[in-house]
Amino acid sequence: MDISEQNQPESPAVPEQPAADESLGQAESQPVPEATAEEPAPVACRIPEVEAPIEPERAEERRGFIKFLCVAIGGLISALPFGAGIWAYLNPLTREKSSSGDGFIRVTTLDAIPADGTPAKFSVISEKEDAWNKFKNISIGAVYLRKEDGKVKALHTVCPHLGCFIDYRAGENDFYCPCHNSNFKLNGDILSGVSPRAMDPLEIEVRNTSEVWVKFQNFQPGHDHPVPVI
């Protein structure tokens, strides 16, 4: 052995690092996990309260009661106007009432009627009642009054043809209907025209020596004989 080799100090041995390199390579080769979107927080779910089912018998009773109530209310609503109409038709208060109760109405006095036989027209004033109202001193029609041989005669002012009002013509001394040119005598008989009958006479009474009372009545037009209006 050489002296130079003996005097040289031994260099420290460098450890091998294969394992570290392998682990580093493995670390680099592992894939990096991708970032995921944040998952939504779970939503609280509330279960609605369920009412207890109604027993079949009770449900049927309720339906039957509601049906009965509807029928009763509907019948009551329908019966009210029908009953009111029947009552108004049958009740005598709905008809025209006279001042005396026997159909006669005080019209005028004897001294208000011309003594020479000239007809005079008078309104018939009376009270009228219906189911809801009472009307006082209203005109319900008119009559012609004239003195004939000392007696008072009454004739209706409505033409028997179609219900027009009849005029007294002083110049012609007759009664005349301007609607269809019918002429009547002073006693009501037909002179000419299309009227199917004479002027309608009305009953008359003299009360308390001077009061003229007339049983006023309307008649249906178009007949050959008087037909009272009910």
pLDDT in tens, 135-168: 677 889 999 999 998 899 999 999 999 999 999 9
pTM: 0.55
Q: What is the pLDDT of residue 39?
A: 55
1-15, 38-52, 61-75 — which is least confidently predicted? 1-15
- In this predicted structure, the answer to whether residue 21 has a pLDDT above a threshold of 70 is no
**Is pLDDT of 107 > 70?**
yes
The share of the chain scoring above pLDDT 70, in percent, equals 59
Contacts of 218 (CB under 8 A, 6+ apart): 141, 156, 158, 228, 229
Total length of the chain = 230
